Structure 1
């Protein structure tokens, strides 16, 4: 089983990262501890993460809330009853309508079991989720971090994380992701919590911008 973190260990891991990296110590000193962002292990959560691909978090939440208004409980069966027009009225693009239907069908057919993911390794979970159209590494990273609280994920498909590392470390805009990955090596085995600190820094910095998400 991958190492996990929880509410009781979260601040101590933040402190340990602050001891490893003076820049994180400054983030905690200047902005406090980051929230421990968590989400339930549910179909609705995965729909929400799919909605967050390539758009602002506010836009994704608006679509999710519109969907909730229409069907009350977001379940695979209820999603599959909606027409293209009804999903479009909930601000779903044509592609995202298809993606959530693929996901709903995979869960109903038994191809995918969210409960089973709690006992699986990262690579197994990634392989099963990425087999579905519309789900890529960024979506899986967010799921592993926010839902399963796996402690060592660095989502370099996330623009806010990439920009936060460059800003915090004073790196040029053209710095390649491979170099950023090497920077993150020093934060093992707590790269998820390091990412929480990076998001917190990004959102707390002057003139924060809405985080855009990379597809997948």
Structure 2
């Protein structure tokens, strides 16, 4: 028998932490923050409860770590999905595809970000707000680029661009929840729904055709 026989191989800390976070995402998404227990998360992760506390300190710290991980993964997925050399409309389409693909492939993570984190106050809501603002800033840049492509100059006022970006991201958030809860709706279909809705209006704005009340 070799010298190492009978000894348990120590799992690297990063792997253990990933297992804990994976279990926490699933638990928080399905039970909610208040109903989730450290005992249940530890059992699902296949580790002891003291180990969860050793690595992640408290339920609040664990929830914060989950939010940060899932938020970073979503932002990175959207950015990675966009090829900067493409025209602005193709970039927006690629970004929407990446957003809806990620939220569809990680429904528990999206549930934590979109539902759980926002309903349990600070510091959780602030973490999600930071993620949202990063995505809004990214979309704002794409809409500004579209205006420049259409006119050669950024004819759309900065306030209009900012408002359009906020509206588009808000619509994407709602649509992602609906797509995840509606059988048969693909990420591509969700992205196309929002792209058609958004680009029709953006196209009019690029041509200087504004809607006005009382027409």
* TM superposition score normalised by structure 1: 0.25
Q: Which has the higher contact order (CA 8 A, sep 6+)?
A: 1
In the superposition, the TM-score normalised over structure 2's length comes to: 0.25
Which protein is richer in helix relative to its size? 2
User: Larger Rg: 1 or 2?
Assistant: 2
